[in-house]
Structure 1
């Protein structure tokens, strides 16, 4: 991508500010994974019901996804640094309350508050990066660092959680956020600039309500599909959210100061990047769901061991996400993203060769290739979205980027999870020995909980059926990778030429 000759070079303050912005990103990623490890100890202490366990696990991501668009727009209006500091303070307080929750109900409420507070952090940090780094090359590197911190946090979550839970009680996993937020609140006024849209106007409360009524039902419906299958009620909830979404878009077109600038979708780079940040995370969600279960329930690894085996794939994402912006100074981003999608597809094809008997090495190699291929898509796609938006709309654009990714992960877990489960149930019905417990017919987890004999024919059949589900999902992901490669090569083919002609320079100005 070419740099804007009028842009200023970032100095020491901006790069130190980036380090401050990276802290909450790292924390949020770690926070997503540690609760899974804490669940057994938490359950012994608070005695939640099965429904409460689901809400404890899901409510954080549910509320974060629902409020991202609202918080991105709010930051543009009241000030991005101001909203970041408010959110960081709220996150720190909610973390303490969650750590010392005395009941399942209290933990659900505090997790919901954490999700709302967390929704302020990602769009605010990304929008501030666009303010601090006006040079396209430097902005791309900064977003690569931001994205790498998120992926590193994803890998570190199980490791950090395992260490904490070995020495402390379950609430310690929530207290990780407190010192990070204290540092952020203290350092932000000194290192981060303030920016707000001078013509932003008042926040349209009806748009806020419509955005929540769009995103929350869609996310909730997809999660219900993941848990219970695609029944009429689940599909109706998703459809209701999509209908409200149409009303939301129609209202935005009429407002002088819209909640979301739908006019940005006329740029192929913007809409194409959003689409890739929907499909790419869907692959990550589906692969991650089945790979983590394979490591723990087929390979019999502890959560900490499974987390350590996931580190190579996370490091591969960090490496490709960091290097892609520098490579984009010489090669068109569309070609880089397309090549990454091809690598992702190859990695998914490697995963189709995993077996229940000797699948660990194949699984790790396949995951590493998939995650390596996703890195350029994540960093360059995010940079294209932020760069396409006017300065005053950067927060709104950042929130759309994050919302697309959240929806993508939910789609991957929900739809691909349903595909893998259907394959499991179809195959297990033909291979289960007579007298096998009914729980084994639904999921591998049900088979493990119902059978104590680790060498039984039931568990062998269940693990083989689950592996078939994994390989089927991997084949679907390979197809998605091919589609992503074609989309990137088509929609981004003219973006960021190293030596643009007069014609491509004009288009680059329109995109930026």
Structure 2
């Protein structure tokens, strides 16, 4: 919703373009950067406690954003929102995993959890637009405050506390290493995708990779690691995380290209482009409610793999779009969202439910990090591929000045801007060539998406074939875990 308010707040707070970018991006940077830390912290101090602390912090951050008198305070408040947001998702996932031990109930709960996020993405911008029409730009930040107040008031009465009674000592060095790895890594990827090769994002990316290696090495040698790397060796967890990362990677890149297509090729306004995504969000929400019901009788690995395979086939169809294919893309996105619903609704449950109870918070943070990081990678990798195809295929008029040719050859947005200053016939020819080149890039992204999804579907079908249907799992007696003992059981308060 910040994007809706951005023009008004930029004027009101006299924010420059760089400040606007920081206000937009810092929430996502810090949310992704703190996920692992907060997931582990919830396991140690209590998931309900962390959830309530996060709820209070999110409400305070929202109020600070709404009434921020300067752009600097708005950026700081958005940073607080990102850190608070990182406490909410792992805590809710871990609480669902411990509240619902029956696989059928657990799957339904995770489906509802995912559906609420999707519906929020549908109705949030609509409500935000209404608020902006009647109130000041900061009013959009107040929409979440009543929900956080309800959480803080009702949470202690309705949510039991879960925590590991023997969590071990929290290694502060690992906390610092995880932040110094994730934050520069995410920043570097986003900035390289947005502006191309620049020294600072490149150095940031290298720093993130090096520190990430040091973080992993430290976890292997700690008696009480901040992140138990054995979670990745669990076949169900590892396979599901790879699939979720792939799904988010392709989805993030495709959505960016789709929005650009709607506006720069299909001729839609920003509002119309946003509305064109609503059918896909609604089908995703519906799919997240259907998938858990089907998984009661059908193996979740089969449901996920078939859904991803059908999404891959849909991408194959999308490779045939032209410059007048708005409806084809809208329908294609709706189908992809529906077919991908089991990946989110069932996959999240498989990750959290396959982890030891005392480590469900950490597992939930990994599931969310796969989604956040995958989307960031998709924007960077597939966005770069689409731009490279455009630059290599666009045909420019031979008599364009050098600076105009460079601008038009860089992106379809640049070509559209240049075309406005040309004679009518020449400008139309440039726009047509730019649209054709952009569609070439769009089709290439769809081909890559189809290939990656096909590979992911095959991997899931093979590696998750051991996971039974939730109905069969619920009826079977609970197996004894080799590592389980009274001393290691989580504390329920």
- TM-score between both structures, scaled by the size of structure 2: 0.90
Of 314-323 and 409-418, more deviation after overlay is shown by: 314-323
Q: Could you say which residue in structure 2 is the equivalent of 1:87?
A: 54
| Residue from 171, 189, 200 that aligns with 1:222 | 189
- 1:85 and 1:255 map into 2 onto residues whose CA distance is 30
Q: Could you say which residue in structure 2 is the equivalent of 1:136?
A: 103
* Residues 368 and 259 of structure 1: CA distance in aligned 2, closer, same or farther (over 3 Å): same
Q: Could you say which residue in structure 2 is the equivalent of 1:124?
A: 91
Q: Could you say which residue in structure 2 is the equivalent of 1:489?
A: 461
Q: How many residues align?
A: 476
Superposed, 1:285-304 pairs within 5 Å as 285-304=252-271
**Conserved? CA contact 2:396–2:405, under 8 Å:** no
| Residue from 144, 154, 157 that aligns with 2:121 | 154
**Conserved? CA contact 1:130–1:386, under 8 Å:** yes
- 1:507 and 1:269 map into 2 onto residues whose CA distance is 16
Asked if residue 459 in structure 1 is aligned to residue 426 in structure 2, the reply is: no
Unaligned runs of 5+ in 2: 485-493
Q: Could you say which residue in structure 1 is the equivalent of 2:376?
A: 410
| Residue from 108, 111, 135 that aligns with 2:78 | 111
* Residues 136 and 508 of structure 1: CA distance in aligned 2, closer, same or farther (over 3 Å): farther
Superposed, 1:91-490 pairs within 5 Å as 91-230=58-197, 234-356=201-323, 358-430=324-396, 434-435=400-401, 436=404, 438-452=406-420, 456-490=428-462
- 1:106 and 1:452 map into 2 onto residues whose CA distance is 38
- TM-score between both structures, scaled by the size of structure 1: 0.87
Unaligned runs of 5+ in 1: 1-33
**Conserved? CA contact 2:35–2:369, under 8 Å:** yes
* Residues 458 and 42 of structure 1: CA distance in aligned 2, closer, same or farther (over 3 Å): farther
- 2:446 and 2:36 map into 1 onto residues whose CA distance is 31
**Conserved? CA contact 1:341–1:373, under 8 Å:** yes
- 2:399 and 2:316 map into 1 onto residues whose CA distance is 31
- 1:510 and 1:462 map into 2 onto residues whose CA distance is 62
Residue deviations 1:60-119 (CA, integer Å, cap 9, x gap): 101000000101111111111111111111111111111222222222211111111111
- 1:497 and 1:408 map into 2 onto residues whose CA distance is 27
Instruction: Note the C-alpha offset of 1:430.
Output: 4.3
**Conserved? CA contact 2:103–2:471, under 8 Å:** no
Residue deviations 1:379-416 (CA, integer Å, cap 9, x gap): 11111110111111111110111111111000001111
**Conserved? CA contact 2:297–2:472, under 8 Å:** no
**Conserved? CA contact 2:352–2:363, under 8 Å:** yes
Segments ≥4 residues shifted beyond 6 Å: 498-501, 504-512
Instruction: Note the C-alpha offset of 1:134.
Output: 1.1
Of 195-204 and 134-143, more deviation after overlay is shown by: 195-204
Of 427-436 and 336-345, more deviation after overlay is shown by: 427-436
- 1:432 and 1:162 map into 2 onto residues whose CA distance is 44
* Residues 301 and 160 of structure 1: CA distance in aligned 2, closer, same or farther (over 3 Å): farther
* Residues 448 and 113 of structure 1: CA distance in aligned 2, closer, same or farther (over 3 Å): farther
Secondary structure class of the residue paired with 1:326: helix
RMSD: 2.5
